[in-house]
């Protein structure tokens, strides 16, 4: 029973993953992609952004596990083996990381921390008041395994919290909207938008000028979903016009973000290097082992991707 590991962005993470997996599945042969050995022995693949066509080279592959929650790069592989289940990685460390990141930046926007830091660098003592959390409406786009707990955590801080998703949801403390018919009401009056959507054909370019125009003037945006969801030119135009007051972006169309990109030096943009939430091998290995054991016992897998909808 062998597993192949590939991670485009985390080339030094093989040993931590191998150690964590061996602790929960001692009989699992964990192999680095550069040293696959007999490829006919490989039954599982644990990958992050593998090159197109890589997975088809393993003739006896039984399941593909994503290192992270996003699976768009996997599903975009035209040679992805048909009939092989693909599973997202949504473990407690990933969810907790996203909750922390979202709360951090919601509070920064809510209390106008960027302005305070600008004033400090200019040695300006300018005081101002912020509204109470209950007077601020925060909207979360995407209410799945990560977005749902994030929205509930934001609500727990006292914010008026609204959520939007593809399908109907019910969350304590969160007013939930869904579908195309719900997006207008979701955006109207929402002062801080947190995007945690998966990247699908329906969500690509969703963060555009038409959406921004439905927000109150001076709203702010936090995107920790996917870079393909944001139209970067529209974001810059909205910032320059004042439609958006500030944006915090953790994801980009091109990563790493090129040094010449205008986001780096824009006074109304906060850039973080796609580290809002990172899968921790120690906790994620437990979920992975559970799925491998389920597969061996012919039981349903958890976090399995519906390829028809993209997540």
Domain residue ranges in the chain: 2-91+279-296, 92-271
Q: What is the largest CA-CA distance in the chain?
A: 68
pLDDT band, very low/low/confident/very high, at 204 (cuts 50, 70, 90): very high
pLDDT > 80? residue 133: yes
pTM: 0.94
Q: Which of 210, 212, 206 is nearest to 227 (CA)?
A: 206
pLDDT > 90? residue 10: no
Q: pLDDT value at position 78? A: 96
- Which H/E stretch holds residue 177? strand 175-178
What's the rounded Cα separation, in Å, for the pair 230 and 43?
36
Q: pLDDT value at position 195? A: 99
pLDDT > 80? residue 247: yes
Q: pLDDT value at position 12? A: 73
Q: pLDDT value at position 87? A: 98
Task: Provide the angle, in degrees to the nearest 10, between the axes of the packed helices 281-296 and 14-24.
Answer: 50
Active site residues: 226, 274
Q: Say yes or no: do domains 2-91+279-296 and 92-271 share a fold.
A: yes
283: left (phi over 0), alpha (psi -120 to 50) or beta: alpha
pLDDT > 70? residue 11: no
What's the rounded Cα separation, in Å, for the pair 169 and 276?
24
**Residue pLDDT, tens place only, 84-123:** 999 999 899 999 999 999 999 999 999 999 999 999 999 9
Using a pLDDT cut of 70, give the percent of the chain over it: 99
Superfamily name with CATH number, domain 2-91+279-296: NAD(P)-binding Rossmann-like Domain (3.40.50.720)
Place of tokens 């109207």: 188
**Residue pLDDT, tens place only, 22-31:** 999 999 999 9
What's the rounded Cα separation, in Å, for the pair 63 and 193?
35
Q: Which of 14, 74, 11 is nearest to 285 (CA)?
A: 14
Helix (H, G, I), strand (E, B) or coil at 240: helix
pLDDT > 70? residue 70: yes
**Residue pLDDT, tens place only, 162-185:** 999 999 999 999 999 999 999 999
User: What is the average per-residue pLDDT within 282-304?
Assistant: 97
Mean pLDDT, the chain, whole residue set? 97
Place of tokens 């035209």: 78
What's the rounded Cα separation, in Å, for the pair 140 and 249?
15
pLDDT > 90? residue 311: yes
* Correct CATH for 92-271 of 3.40.50.720, 1.10.760.10, 3.40.1160.10, 3.20.20.150: 3.40.50.720
What does residue 13 show for φ and ψ, rounded to 5 degrees? -100, 5
């Amino acid at each position: 029973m062998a597993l192949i590991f590939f991670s485009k962005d985390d080339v030094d993470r093989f040993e931590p993953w191998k150690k964590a997996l061996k602790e929960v599945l001692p009989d699992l042969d964990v192999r680095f992609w550069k040293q696959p050995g007999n490829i006919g022995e490989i039954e599982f693949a644990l990958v992050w952004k593998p090159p197109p066509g890589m997975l088809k080279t393993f003739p006896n592959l039984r399941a593909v596990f994503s290192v992270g929650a996003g699976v768009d790069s996997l599903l975009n592989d035209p040679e992805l083996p048909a009939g092989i289940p693909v599973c997202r990685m949504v473990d407690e460390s990933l969810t907790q990381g996203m909750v922390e990141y979202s709360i951090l930046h919601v509070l920064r926007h809510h209390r106008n921390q960027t302005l305070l830091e600008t004033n400090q660098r200019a040695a300006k003592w300018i005081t101002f008041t912020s509204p109470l959390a209950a007077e601020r409406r925060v909207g979360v786009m995407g209410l799945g395994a990560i977005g749902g707990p994030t929205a509930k955590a934001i609500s727990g801080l006292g914010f008026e919290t609204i959520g939007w998703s593809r399908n109907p949801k019910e969350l304590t403390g969160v007013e939930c909207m869904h579908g195309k018919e719900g997006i207008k009401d979701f955006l109207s009056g929402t002062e801080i938008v947190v995007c945690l959507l998966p990247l699908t054909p329906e969500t690509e370019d969703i963060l555009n000028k038409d959406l921004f125009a439905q927000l109150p003037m001076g709203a702010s945006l936090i995107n920790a979903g996917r870079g393909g969801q944001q139209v970067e030119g529209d974001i810059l135009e909205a910032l320059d016009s004042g439609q958006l007051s500030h944006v915090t972006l953790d994801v980009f169309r091109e990563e790493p973000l090129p040094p010449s990109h205008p986001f780096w030096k824009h006074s109304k943009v906060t850039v973080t290097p796609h580290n809002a939430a990172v899968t921790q091998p120690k906790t994620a290995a437990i979920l992975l082992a559970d799925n491998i054991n389920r597969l061996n016992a012919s039981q349903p897998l958890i976090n399995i991707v519906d390829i028809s909808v993209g997540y």
